[in-house]
Amino acid sequence: MVGEGRLRQLRVVLVGTTHPGNIGSAARAMKAMGVRDLVLVAPERFPHADATALASGADDLLAAAQVVGDLPAAVADCVWVLGTSARLRTHSVPVLPPDRAAERALGQARHGPVALVFGREHSGLTNSELDYCNAFVQVPTVPDFSSLNLAGSVQVMTYALRMAALAAEDAPGVAPSDERDPPATQAEMEGLYAHLEQALTTIEVLDPDNPRHLMRRLRHLYQRSGLTASEVRMLRGILIHTQRGR
Ligand code: SAH
């Protein structure tokens, strides 16, 4: 049951959901696919009778769901964050199709929790929420009608994850794991960004009065490269020396 175990490391994060029914339908979709960890970021109405009704039997997931105030709190302990989007935006982080995204997510789940982040029904995810993602997934729809129902996209993605998990069971141990140097968590990455911003300000590369897009571009660069915890420590060591000027 290698794959089933790995599915338990996956977290569905629903950001700012408006309709409680969608939360229930998402829980139902998750439970059928063996994904159980649900985190709600500032839902408009929850708990709610519509959520329970549409969960139809997945109310154990709703009862266990964590409610948090913002996306960083939902993904702080995650080693990889996959954002979902109906639209391709110009962004410097890779956009993957569901099967490839699922494979990567399961691979990362060997090291710790992996989040799949879903946006608001009307407006999706904000730009700063997108900045927390290591990669994006887009369900390939027809180009002129690209927006799926929120719970529908949770179903497609958790199905893709289950298929990838079942394939991993058939081929156990294909991906070697390096337990000694796990990927950095999002909280460790946030520590690096704060430190980097400070050091760049000290050496006057970053002008706090006119920061332009420097921090965002650096963030995308590091998110894309998937740093390990020890690489983050190494970079922060360099930053300490940079700040000292020797
Ligand atoms: N107008 C919004 C649509 C949001 S739909 C936008 O353009 O972003 C609500 C959520 O469902 C999205 O934030 C995303 O998480 C998911 N979703 C909808 N269609 C999707 C698609 N084609 N691929 C991946 N996720 C999708």
* pLDDT for position 180: 78
Q: Which of 22, 81, 85, 149 to mutate to test the pocket of ligand 1 (most atoms within 8 A of CB)?
A: 85
Residue 67 pLDDT level (bands cut at 50, 70, 90):
very high
Average pLDDT over residues 3-8: 86
C-beta separation of 12 from 78 below 8 A: no
> Does domain 2-170 correspond to CATH entry 3.30.470.10?
no
Banded model confidence at residue 5, pLDDT cuts 50, 70, 90: confident
pTM of the model: 0.89
Between these two residues, 89 and 172, which has the higher pLDDT value?
89
Neighbours of 210 (CB within 10 A): 7
Ligand 1 centre to CA of 30 (Å) is: 17
Structure tokens at 46: 């929850």
Q: Give the position, in ligand 1's atom list, of the atom nearest the Cα of 119.
A: 13
What is the predicted pLDDT for the residue at 198? 96
Candidates 231, 225, 217; CA nearest to 188 is 231
pLDDT of residue 31: 98
State yes or no: pLDDT of 174 exceeds 50.
no
Half-sphere exposure of residue 57: CA atoms within 13 angstroms, side-chain side: 5
Question: Which of 128, 132, 114, 138 has its CA nearest to residue 39?
Answer: 114
Mean pLDDT, residues 204-230 taken together: 92
41 close to 8: Cβ distance less than 8 angstroms: no
Residue 114: pLDDT band by 50, 70, 90 thresholds? very high
Q: How confident is the model at residue 163 (pLDDT cuts 50, 70, 90)?
A: very high
**Of the residues 13, 18, 150, 157, which should be mutated to test ligand 1's pocket, given the most ligand atoms within 8 Å of the CB?**
150
- Report the side by side order of strands in the sheet with 95-96: 66-68, 37-41, 10-15, 114-118, 80-84, 135-137, 95-96
Domain boundaries, the chain: 2-170, 186-244
Beta strands in the chain (DSSP E): 10-15, 37-41, 66-68, 80-84, 95-96, 114-118, 135-137
Annotation: CATH topology of 186-244: Helicase, Ruva Protein; domain 3 (1.10.8)
The yes-or-no verdict on residue 1 having pLDDT over 60 is: no
∠ Cα 68 94 66 (to 5°) = 15
